[in-house]
A and B are shown apart, each in its own frame.
Chain A
Amino acid sequence: MTTTHRKLISRRGLMKTAALGGASTLFAPSLIGRAFAQDSFPSRALQVLIPISEGGGVDRSARAFNAAWGPSLGVGFEYSYFPGASGQVGYETYMGRRDADAYNLLFGAIGPEMIMYATQNPGYTFPDDYVYFAGVNADDSVIWVAENSPFQTLEDLIEEGQSRRVNFSGSRLPHPSSIAVFLLAEATGANFNVVPYGGGNAARSAAITGEVDACCTFMSSSLSVADQVRFLTVFQDENQIPHLTDDARPANDILGTDFPALDGLRAYAIHRAAIEAHPERYQILKDTIAETMESGRYEEATVAAGLSPDFNVFRNEEECTRSAMQFIELANRFEHLLRDA
Protein backbone atom coordinates (compact mmCIF):
# COMPACT_ATOMS: atom_id res chain seq x y z
CA MET A 1 0.00 0.00 0.00
CA THR A 2 1.39 3.40 -0.89
CA THR A 3 0.69 6.75 0.68
CA THR A 4 1.90 10.28 0.52
CA HIS A 5 1.05 10.89 4.16
CA ARG A 6 3.49 8.93 6.20
CA LYS A 7 3.76 9.38 9.90
CA LEU A 8 6.37 6.89 10.84
CA ILE A 9 7.17 6.16 14.44
CA SER A 10 10.49 4.44 14.80
CA ARG A 11 11.05 1.69 17.33
CA ARG A 12 13.85 3.68 18.88
CA GLY A 13 11.60 6.73 19.14
CA LEU A 14 8.90 4.71 20.81
CA MET A 15 11.33 3.22 23.33
CA LYS A 16 12.73 6.66 24.05
CA THR A 17 9.27 8.05 24.70
CA ALA A 18 8.38 5.10 26.92
CA ALA A 19 11.60 5.50 28.88
CA LEU A 20 11.03 9.23 29.31
CA GLY A 21 7.44 8.63 30.38
CA GLY A 22 8.54 6.03 32.89
CA ALA A 23 11.27 8.27 34.25
CA SER A 24 8.98 11.26 34.59
CA THR A 25 6.45 9.09 36.44
CA LEU A 26 9.08 7.73 38.79
CA PHE A 27 10.80 10.99 39.57
CA ALA A 28 7.98 13.57 39.42
CA PRO A 29 8.57 15.75 42.50
CA SER A 30 4.88 16.19 43.25
CA LEU A 31 4.44 12.45 43.29
CA ILE A 32 7.35 11.80 45.65
CA GLY A 33 6.10 14.44 48.03
CA ARG A 34 2.59 13.07 48.00
CA ALA A 35 3.59 9.47 48.38
CA PHE A 36 5.03 10.23 51.79
CA ALA A 37 2.59 12.88 52.90
CA GLN A 38 -0.87 11.64 51.89
CA ASP A 39 -1.21 8.07 53.07
CA SER A 40 -0.50 6.98 49.50
CA PHE A 41 -3.71 7.84 47.68
CA PRO A 42 -3.98 6.66 45.05
CA SER A 43 -2.20 3.39 45.67
CA ARG A 44 -3.75 1.58 42.73
CA ALA A 45 -5.20 2.36 39.33
CA LEU A 46 -8.24 4.60 39.12
CA GLN A 47 -11.32 2.97 37.62
CA VAL A 48 -12.86 5.13 34.92
CA LEU A 49 -16.39 4.28 33.85
CA ILE A 50 -17.42 5.69 30.50
CA PRO A 51 -21.16 5.70 29.71
CA ILE A 52 -20.53 5.66 25.95
CA SER A 53 -19.01 3.12 23.55
CA GLU A 54 -15.32 2.43 23.41
CA GLY A 55 -13.35 4.31 20.77
CA GLY A 56 -15.74 7.29 20.56
CA GLY A 57 -15.01 10.96 21.21
CA VAL A 58 -15.56 10.76 24.97
CA ASP A 59 -13.29 7.73 25.29
CA ARG A 60 -10.55 9.37 23.28
CA SER A 61 -10.82 12.57 25.30
CA ALA A 62 -10.59 10.62 28.56
CA ARG A 63 -7.53 8.73 27.39
CA ALA A 64 -5.83 11.90 26.16
CA PHE A 65 -6.40 13.68 29.45
CA ASN A 66 -5.40 10.66 31.52
CA ALA A 67 -2.15 10.32 29.59
CA ALA A 68 -1.28 13.73 30.98
CA TRP A 69 -2.89 13.25 34.42
CA GLY A 70 -1.27 9.86 35.10
CA PRO A 71 2.22 11.23 35.86
CA SER A 72 0.74 13.59 38.48
CA LEU A 73 -1.21 10.82 40.14
CA GLY A 74 1.49 8.19 39.85
CA VAL A 75 -0.97 5.44 38.91
CA GLY A 76 -2.64 4.26 35.75
CA PHE A 77 -6.29 4.02 34.71
CA GLU A 78 -8.57 1.12 34.00
CA TYR A 79 -11.55 1.73 31.75
CA SER A 80 -14.96 0.16 31.55
CA TYR A 81 -17.70 1.04 29.08
CA PHE A 82 -21.41 0.96 29.70
CA PRO A 83 -23.16 2.54 26.73
CA GLY A 84 -26.91 2.57 26.38
CA ALA A 85 -30.08 4.66 26.67
CA SER A 86 -28.23 7.97 26.09
CA GLY A 87 -25.80 7.24 28.94
CA GLN A 88 -28.33 6.06 31.53
CA VAL A 89 -26.88 2.54 31.63
CA GLY A 90 -23.44 3.89 32.55
CA TYR A 91 -24.72 6.30 35.19
CA GLU A 92 -26.98 3.69 36.80
CA THR A 93 -24.06 1.28 36.86
CA TYR A 94 -21.76 3.88 38.39
CA MET A 95 -24.25 4.92 41.04
CA GLY A 96 -25.48 1.46 41.91
CA ARG A 97 -22.55 -0.86 41.38
CA ARG A 98 -19.36 1.10 42.01
CA ASP A 99 -17.83 1.75 45.44
CA ALA A 100 -17.83 5.37 46.56
CA ASP A 101 -14.13 5.39 47.42
CA ALA A 102 -12.72 8.07 45.09
CA TYR A 103 -10.99 5.35 43.09
CA ASN A 104 -14.11 4.99 40.97
CA LEU A 105 -14.74 7.93 38.65
CA LEU A 106 -17.10 8.51 35.76
CA PHE A 107 -16.11 10.41 32.64
CA GLY A 108 -19.04 11.66 30.61
CA ALA A 109 -20.45 14.50 28.54
CA ILE A 110 -22.51 16.81 30.75
CA GLY A 111 -24.86 18.26 28.11
CA PRO A 112 -26.28 15.08 26.55
CA GLU A 113 -26.27 13.17 29.81
CA MET A 114 -28.07 15.82 31.83
CA ILE A 115 -30.78 15.98 29.16
CA MET A 116 -31.08 12.23 29.54
CA TYR A 117 -31.25 12.70 33.33
CA ALA A 118 -34.05 15.23 33.02
CA THR A 119 -36.12 13.26 30.50
CA GLN A 120 -35.69 9.65 31.62
CA ASN A 121 -36.06 9.98 35.41
CA PRO A 122 -33.25 7.57 36.35
CA GLY A 123 -32.82 6.11 39.81
CA TYR A 124 -30.26 8.64 41.09
CA THR A 125 -30.29 12.34 41.89
CA PHE A 126 -28.06 15.15 40.71
CA PRO A 127 -26.24 16.82 42.43
CA ASP A 128 -27.12 14.95 45.62
CA ASP A 129 -25.63 11.60 44.57
CA TYR A 130 -22.70 12.72 42.41
CA VAL A 131 -20.96 15.84 41.18
CA TYR A 132 -18.95 16.79 38.14
CA PHE A 133 -15.70 18.23 39.41
CA ALA A 134 -13.45 18.76 36.38
CA GLY A 135 -14.47 19.57 32.82
CA VAL A 136 -11.51 19.06 30.52
CA ASN A 137 -12.90 19.25 26.99
CA ALA A 138 -15.85 21.04 25.39
CA ASP A 139 -17.43 20.29 22.04
CA ASP A 140 -19.83 22.84 20.63
CA SER A 141 -23.13 22.29 18.83
CA VAL A 142 -23.11 23.28 15.17
CA ILE A 143 -25.45 23.25 12.21
CA TRP A 144 -24.13 22.40 8.78
CA VAL A 145 -25.47 21.47 5.36
CA ALA A 146 -24.04 19.35 2.56
CA GLU A 147 -21.65 21.09 0.21
CA ASN A 148 -24.17 21.01 -2.67
CA SER A 149 -27.06 22.27 -0.53
CA PRO A 150 -28.94 25.34 -1.80
CA PHE A 151 -28.71 26.86 1.70
CA GLN A 152 -25.73 29.18 1.91
CA THR A 153 -26.45 30.78 5.27
CA LEU A 154 -28.37 30.18 8.47
CA GLU A 155 -30.83 32.84 7.36
CA ASP A 156 -31.56 30.81 4.18
CA LEU A 157 -32.39 27.78 6.29
CA ILE A 158 -34.64 29.80 8.58
CA GLU A 159 -36.43 31.41 5.65
CA GLU A 160 -37.08 27.96 4.15
CA GLY A 161 -38.30 26.73 7.54
CA GLN A 162 -40.86 29.51 7.58
CA SER A 163 -42.51 28.10 4.46
CA ARG A 164 -42.08 24.31 4.90
CA ARG A 165 -40.81 21.67 7.32
CA VAL A 166 -37.00 21.55 7.32
CA ASN A 167 -35.52 18.26 8.47
CA PHE A 168 -32.34 18.07 10.54
CA SER A 169 -30.48 14.83 11.22
CA GLY A 170 -29.18 14.39 14.75
CA SER A 171 -27.63 11.53 16.65
CA ARG A 172 -30.54 11.46 19.12
CA LEU A 173 -33.25 13.75 20.43
CA PRO A 174 -31.93 14.13 23.99
CA HIS A 175 -28.85 16.00 22.80
CA PRO A 176 -27.62 19.62 23.09
CA SER A 177 -27.59 20.12 19.32
CA SER A 178 -31.25 19.03 19.09
CA ILE A 179 -32.07 21.60 21.75
CA ALA A 180 -30.12 24.15 19.69
CA VAL A 181 -32.54 23.50 16.80
CA PHE A 182 -35.55 23.74 19.14
CA LEU A 183 -34.30 27.11 20.40
CA LEU A 184 -33.75 28.29 16.86
CA ALA A 185 -37.25 27.23 15.82
CA GLU A 186 -38.76 28.89 18.87
CA ALA A 187 -36.92 32.16 18.23
CA THR A 188 -37.67 32.35 14.50
CA GLY A 189 -40.98 30.56 14.09
CA ALA A 190 -39.40 28.17 11.60
CA ASN A 191 -40.77 24.65 11.19
CA PHE A 192 -37.68 22.65 12.14
CA ASN A 193 -37.87 18.90 12.65
CA VAL A 194 -35.04 16.90 14.26
CA VAL A 195 -34.81 13.31 13.09
CA PRO A 196 -32.70 11.07 15.35
CA TYR A 197 -30.46 8.59 13.52
CA GLY A 198 -29.19 6.69 16.55
CA GLY A 199 -25.59 7.80 16.14
CA GLY A 200 -23.39 10.59 14.85
CA ASN A 201 -22.13 8.68 11.82
CA ALA A 202 -25.60 7.86 10.58
CA ALA A 203 -26.71 11.46 11.18
CA ARG A 204 -23.80 12.86 9.17
CA SER A 205 -24.40 10.35 6.39
CA ALA A 206 -28.08 11.35 6.13
CA ALA A 207 -27.18 15.01 5.64
CA ILE A 208 -24.35 14.39 3.18
CA THR A 209 -26.44 12.00 1.08
CA GLY A 210 -29.39 14.38 0.98
CA GLU A 211 -31.99 12.55 3.06
CA VAL A 212 -32.33 15.62 5.29
CA ASP A 213 -31.78 19.34 4.77
CA ALA A 214 -29.16 19.88 7.48
CA CYS A 215 -27.34 18.23 10.34
CA CYS A 216 -27.23 19.32 13.97
CA THR A 217 -24.34 17.76 15.82
CA PHE A 218 -21.11 18.47 17.66
CA MET A 219 -18.27 20.30 15.99
CA SER A 220 -15.30 17.99 16.60
CA SER A 221 -17.01 14.92 15.16
CA SER A 222 -17.96 16.92 12.06
CA LEU A 223 -14.38 17.78 11.20
CA SER A 224 -13.84 14.44 9.44
CA VAL A 225 -16.48 15.48 6.86
CA ALA A 226 -15.52 19.16 6.76
CA ASP A 227 -14.58 18.88 3.07
CA GLN A 228 -18.08 17.87 2.12
CA VAL A 229 -20.15 20.26 4.19
CA ARG A 230 -20.79 23.94 4.84
CA PHE A 231 -20.92 25.04 8.47
CA LEU A 232 -23.69 27.59 9.03
CA THR A 233 -23.49 28.39 12.70
CA VAL A 234 -22.15 27.45 16.10
CA PHE A 235 -23.96 27.57 19.45
CA GLN A 236 -21.22 29.09 21.56
CA ASP A 237 -20.00 32.61 22.37
CA GLU A 238 -17.36 32.27 19.70
CA ASN A 239 -16.26 29.75 17.11
CA GLN A 240 -13.18 27.97 18.51
CA ILE A 241 -11.89 26.89 15.10
CA PRO A 242 -13.23 29.26 12.43
CA HIS A 243 -10.48 28.30 9.97
CA LEU A 244 -11.76 24.70 9.87
CA THR A 245 -15.47 25.50 9.90
CA ASP A 246 -16.05 28.02 7.09
CA ASP A 247 -15.79 30.93 9.54
CA ALA A 248 -19.25 30.02 10.78
CA ARG A 249 -20.52 32.72 13.15
CA PRO A 250 -22.25 32.10 16.46
CA ALA A 251 -26.05 31.97 16.18
CA ASN A 252 -26.36 34.77 18.73
CA ASP A 253 -24.23 37.05 16.53
CA ILE A 254 -26.26 36.27 13.43
CA LEU A 255 -29.71 36.50 14.99
CA GLY A 256 -29.14 38.80 17.95
CA THR A 257 -30.47 36.11 20.27
CA ASP A 258 -29.25 35.08 23.69
CA PHE A 259 -28.98 31.31 23.40
CA PRO A 260 -26.87 29.62 26.08
CA ALA A 261 -23.75 27.67 25.08
CA LEU A 262 -25.00 24.30 23.86
CA ASP A 263 -21.88 22.26 24.33
CA GLY A 264 -20.91 18.81 25.43
CA LEU A 265 -18.58 19.51 28.31
CA ARG A 266 -16.64 16.30 28.92
CA ALA A 267 -16.01 16.04 32.60
CA TYR A 268 -15.05 13.81 35.50
CA ALA A 269 -17.75 12.93 38.01
CA ILE A 270 -17.45 11.41 41.47
CA HIS A 271 -19.89 10.01 44.06
CA ARG A 272 -21.01 12.62 46.56
CA ALA A 273 -20.52 9.96 49.25
CA ALA A 274 -16.85 9.61 48.25
CA ILE A 275 -16.28 13.34 48.71
CA GLU A 276 -17.86 13.18 52.16
CA ALA A 277 -16.06 10.01 53.26
CA HIS A 278 -12.67 10.85 51.73
CA PRO A 279 -12.29 14.63 51.43
CA GLU A 280 -8.48 14.35 51.31
CA ARG A 281 -8.67 12.00 48.34
CA TYR A 282 -11.04 14.35 46.54
CA GLN A 283 -8.61 17.21 47.19
CA ILE A 284 -5.74 15.18 45.70
CA LEU A 285 -7.79 14.50 42.59
CA LYS A 286 -8.55 18.20 42.15
CA ASP A 287 -4.98 19.30 42.93
CA THR A 288 -3.41 16.89 40.48
CA ILE A 289 -5.84 17.91 37.75
CA ALA A 290 -4.94 21.58 38.34
CA GLU A 291 -1.25 20.64 38.22
CA THR A 292 -1.83 18.73 34.95
CA MET A 293 -3.52 21.73 33.41
CA GLU A 294 -0.65 24.00 34.37
CA SER A 295 2.06 21.59 33.22
CA GLY A 296 1.25 21.78 29.49
CA ARG A 297 1.25 17.99 29.33
CA TYR A 298 -2.45 17.91 28.48
CA GLU A 299 -1.96 19.78 25.24
CA GLU A 300 0.93 17.52 24.27
CA ALA A 301 -1.08 14.40 25.09
CA THR A 302 -4.06 15.69 23.09
CA VAL A 303 -1.93 16.23 20.02
CA ALA A 304 -0.25 12.84 20.53
CA ALA A 305 -3.69 11.22 20.60
CA GLY A 306 -4.49 12.73 17.21
CA LEU A 307 -7.07 15.16 18.65
CA SER A 308 -7.34 18.91 18.38
CA PRO A 309 -6.26 20.82 21.50
CA ASP A 310 -8.65 23.61 20.47
CA PHE A 311 -11.39 21.89 22.43
CA ASN A 312 -9.39 21.59 25.66
CA VAL A 313 -10.81 23.63 28.53
CA PHE A 314 -10.82 23.57 32.29
CA ARG A 315 -14.07 23.94 34.25
CA ASN A 316 -14.21 23.48 38.01
CA GLU A 317 -16.99 21.88 40.06
CA GLU A 318 -19.01 25.06 40.26
CA GLU A 319 -18.85 25.72 36.53
CA CYS A 320 -19.67 22.11 35.72
CA THR A 321 -22.68 22.18 38.04
CA ARG A 322 -23.89 25.40 36.45
CA SER A 323 -23.67 23.82 33.00
CA ALA A 324 -25.49 20.71 34.22
CA MET A 325 -28.32 22.68 35.81
CA GLN A 326 -28.70 24.73 32.66
CA PHE A 327 -29.26 21.58 30.60
CA ILE A 328 -31.78 20.24 33.10
CA GLU A 329 -33.69 23.50 32.76
CA LEU A 330 -33.56 23.38 28.95
CA ALA A 331 -34.64 19.75 28.89
CA ASN A 332 -37.60 20.53 31.13
CA ARG A 333 -38.52 23.48 28.91
CA PHE A 334 -38.55 21.31 25.79
CA GLU A 335 -39.88 18.20 27.48
CA HIS A 336 -42.85 18.11 25.10
CA LEU A 337 -40.44 17.67 22.17
CA LEU A 338 -38.03 15.32 23.91
CA ARG A 339 -40.52 12.83 25.32
CA ASP A 340 -43.20 10.80 23.67
CA ALA A 341 -46.57 12.24 24.58
Chain B
Amino acid sequence: MRVRLRNQQDFACGVLFLAIAVGGFIVAMDYPMGTAVRMSAGYFPRTLCLLLGVIGVYAVLRSLTVEGEAIERIGLRPVLLVPLAVLLFALSIRSLGLVVAAFAIVVVGSLASPQMRWRETLVAAAVLAAGTVALFIWGIGLLIPVWPEF
Protein backbone atom coordinates (compact mmCIF):
# COMPACT_ATOMS: atom_id res chain seq x y z
CA MET B 1 0.00 0.00 0.00
CA ARG B 2 1.30 3.40 -0.91
CA VAL B 3 0.77 6.22 1.52
CA ARG B 4 0.01 9.56 -0.04
CA LEU B 5 0.87 12.86 1.61
CA ARG B 6 -2.31 14.91 1.60
CA ASN B 7 -1.22 17.88 3.59
CA GLN B 8 2.35 19.14 3.24
CA GLN B 9 1.98 21.87 5.87
CA ASP B 10 0.72 19.50 8.55
CA PHE B 11 3.38 16.97 7.69
CA ALA B 12 6.14 19.56 8.05
CA CYS B 13 4.61 20.71 11.35
CA GLY B 14 4.56 17.15 12.62
CA VAL B 15 8.18 16.53 11.67
CA LEU B 16 9.31 19.81 13.24
CA PHE B 17 7.35 19.21 16.46
CA LEU B 18 8.65 15.64 16.71
CA ALA B 19 12.22 16.76 16.12
CA ILE B 20 12.00 19.37 18.87
CA ALA B 21 10.22 16.94 21.21
CA VAL B 22 12.65 14.06 20.71
CA GLY B 23 15.71 16.32 20.79
CA GLY B 24 14.45 18.13 23.88
CA PHE B 25 13.62 14.87 25.63
CA ILE B 26 17.06 13.39 24.95
CA VAL B 27 18.77 16.50 26.29
CA ALA B 28 16.44 16.58 29.31
CA MET B 29 17.36 12.95 30.13
CA ASP B 30 20.53 14.39 31.66
CA TYR B 31 18.54 16.35 34.23
CA PRO B 32 17.30 14.54 37.33
CA MET B 33 13.60 13.84 37.27
CA GLY B 34 12.80 14.21 40.97
CA THR B 35 9.42 13.18 42.28
CA ALA B 36 5.96 14.71 41.95
CA VAL B 37 6.45 16.22 45.42
CA ARG B 38 9.92 17.55 44.78
CA MET B 39 10.21 18.08 41.05
CA SER B 40 13.74 18.40 39.82
CA ALA B 41 15.06 20.05 36.69
CA GLY B 42 13.97 17.24 34.37
CA TYR B 43 10.31 16.90 35.33
CA PHE B 44 8.72 19.85 33.59
CA PRO B 45 10.74 19.81 30.33
CA ARG B 46 10.26 16.05 29.87
CA THR B 47 6.52 16.41 30.40
CA LEU B 48 6.38 19.22 27.85
CA CYS B 49 8.39 17.21 25.32
CA LEU B 50 6.04 14.25 25.74
CA LEU B 51 3.03 16.48 25.06
CA LEU B 52 4.74 18.04 22.06
CA GLY B 53 5.63 14.59 20.74
CA VAL B 54 1.99 13.48 20.96
CA ILE B 55 0.94 16.55 18.98
CA GLY B 56 3.69 15.83 16.45
CA VAL B 57 2.46 12.27 15.90
CA TYR B 58 -1.09 13.57 15.54
CA ALA B 59 0.05 16.10 12.91
CA VAL B 60 1.89 13.47 10.87
CA LEU B 61 -1.08 11.07 10.95
CA ARG B 62 -3.43 13.91 10.05
CA SER B 63 -1.28 14.90 7.08
CA LEU B 64 -1.77 11.42 5.64
CA THR B 65 -5.55 11.42 6.03
CA VAL B 66 -6.95 14.94 5.80
CA GLU B 67 -6.51 17.01 2.63
CA GLY B 68 -4.81 20.33 3.28
CA GLU B 69 -2.59 23.07 1.98
CA ALA B 70 0.66 22.55 0.16
CA ILE B 71 3.72 24.52 1.14
CA GLU B 72 4.23 27.35 -1.28
CA ARG B 73 7.46 27.77 -3.17
CA ILE B 74 10.32 29.03 -1.02
CA GLY B 75 11.79 32.37 -2.04
CA LEU B 76 15.48 31.69 -1.51
CA ARG B 77 16.52 35.30 -1.91
CA PRO B 78 14.88 36.74 1.22
CA VAL B 79 15.39 33.55 3.23
CA LEU B 80 19.15 33.71 2.71
CA LEU B 81 19.78 37.45 2.48
CA VAL B 82 17.78 38.76 5.44
CA PRO B 83 19.50 36.50 8.02
CA LEU B 84 22.84 37.11 6.26
CA ALA B 85 22.38 40.87 6.60
CA VAL B 86 21.71 40.48 10.32
CA LEU B 87 24.74 38.18 10.71
CA LEU B 88 26.97 40.73 8.97
CA PHE B 89 25.68 43.35 11.38
CA ALA B 90 26.53 41.10 14.32
CA LEU B 91 30.02 40.44 12.97
CA SER B 92 30.87 44.05 12.25
CA ILE B 93 29.23 46.08 15.01
CA ARG B 94 31.90 45.65 17.66
CA SER B 95 35.05 45.86 15.56
CA LEU B 96 34.02 48.02 12.61
CA GLY B 97 31.49 50.28 14.31
CA LEU B 98 27.92 51.33 13.75
CA VAL B 99 28.42 53.13 10.43
CA VAL B 100 29.90 50.12 8.67
CA ALA B 101 27.43 47.76 10.30
CA ALA B 102 24.50 49.95 9.26
CA PHE B 103 25.70 50.04 5.64
CA ALA B 104 26.18 46.27 5.66
CA ILE B 105 22.74 45.44 6.98
CA VAL B 106 20.88 48.00 4.85
CA VAL B 107 22.64 47.16 1.58
CA VAL B 108 22.64 43.37 1.96
CA GLY B 109 19.12 43.48 3.39
CA SER B 110 17.86 45.56 0.47
CA LEU B 111 19.23 42.99 -1.97
CA ALA B 112 16.52 40.67 -0.64
CA SER B 113 13.91 42.76 -2.43
CA PRO B 114 13.68 42.31 -6.21
CA GLN B 115 12.76 46.00 -6.54
CA MET B 116 16.04 47.12 -5.03
CA ARG B 117 17.71 50.10 -6.73
CA TRP B 118 21.38 50.77 -5.98
CA ARG B 119 21.34 54.59 -5.86
CA GLU B 120 18.28 54.70 -3.66
CA THR B 121 19.65 52.03 -1.32
CA LEU B 122 22.99 53.77 -0.86
CA VAL B 123 21.27 57.05 -0.04
CA ALA B 124 18.96 55.25 2.39
CA ALA B 125 21.95 53.54 4.02
CA ALA B 126 23.75 56.85 4.48
CA VAL B 127 20.69 58.54 5.94
CA LEU B 128 19.96 55.61 8.26
CA ALA B 129 23.58 55.36 9.41
CA ALA B 130 23.67 59.06 10.25
CA GLY B 131 20.23 58.87 11.87
CA THR B 132 21.05 55.91 14.09
CA VAL B 133 24.36 57.41 15.19
CA ALA B 134 22.52 60.61 16.16
CA LEU B 135 19.67 58.78 17.88
CA PHE B 136 21.32 55.85 19.59
CA ILE B 137 24.80 57.17 20.34
CA TRP B 138 24.40 60.90 20.84
CA GLY B 139 20.76 60.69 21.91
CA ILE B 140 20.47 57.63 24.14
CA GLY B 141 24.16 57.16 24.80
CA LEU B 142 24.56 53.50 23.83
CA LEU B 143 28.13 52.27 24.11
CA ILE B 144 28.68 51.28 20.50
CA PRO B 145 31.76 52.32 18.52
CA VAL B 146 30.91 54.59 15.58
CA TRP B 147 33.98 54.03 13.41
CA PRO B 148 36.34 51.06 12.92
CA GLU B 149 38.88 50.67 15.70
CA PHE B 150 42.41 49.81 14.67
To the question of whether A and B form a pair in one complex, the answer is no
